[in-house]
Structure 1
Amino acid sequence: MNLVLINFSIVFILIMLIMTLLTFLSKKSIIDLQKSTSFECGFNPMSYSRLPFSIHFFLIAVIFLIFDIEIIIIIPMIFLLKSSNLIYWLVTSVTFIIVLIIGLYHEWYNGLLNWTN
C-alpha cells in the first residue's frame, strides 16, 4: 500500500512540474484579434457586409447538406432490411433512389454542377 502511495505522489509531482513548466514556456497572447472576432462563413465581420460572396461556397454547402441527409436516410434503410418486409423495403428504397436521381438530373440539366462558371 505504501508503494502505491509513493508512486502516486511521484506521478502527481511530475505532472505538476510539467504543467508549471508549460505554463511558463508557452506563448500567451491575451488580446488576439483573430481569436476575439466571430467567424461567419469565412467573412471578416469588420468589413463591409454587402460584398458579394462566391457562389461556389454556397453550392458546396448545399451539396454537403444533401449528402448528409442522404446518408441519414440510407443507413436506417440498410438496418431495416433484416427486420421488415422485403417488398415494402424494396419499393421504399427504389423510390428514394429514383428521387435522388431525378434531383441529380435536375441539377445537371440546369448547370448547377458546372464549377467553371
Structure 2
Amino acid sequence: MKSTILAFVVVLLLVCFLLVVAKSVSARRVKDVEKSSPFECGFDPYGSGRFPFSLQFFLVAILFLLFDLEIALIYPLATFKAGYMSVSASISSFMFLIIVLFGLIHEWNEGSLQWKS
C-alpha cells in the first residue's frame, strides 16, 4: 500500500516538473505592450479597463463561502447516529457548532448581513 502511494506521489511530482519545464521552454520571450493594452474595436478606450464593484457584494460572497464550507463540514455529523459517535467526537462537533454560532452572531452584530442601500 505504501509503495503504491509513493509511486503515485513520484509520478505526480514528475508530471508537475515536466509541465513547468514545458511551460518555460515554450514561453514567448518578447512582450508586446500593445497586446496587453485594452482594446475597444480599434478605438482608444473611453475610460479605465477596470470597473468598480460594490464591497457589499464581495462581503456577501466571502460570508457565503465561509458558511458554505462550514455546512459542508457539519453535514457528515448529521449522518452519524448519536450512539455511534465517541465522546471526543461529540464534544469536538459541539464545539465546532458553538464556534459557527458565535461567528454568525458576530456577523449579525457587525451588520454584515444587513444590505446597505
TM-score when scaled to structure 1?
Answer: 0.48
Bigger-Rg structure (1/2): 1
Larger relative contact order (CA 8 Å, sep ≥ 6): 2
TM-score when scaled to structure 2?
Answer: 0.48
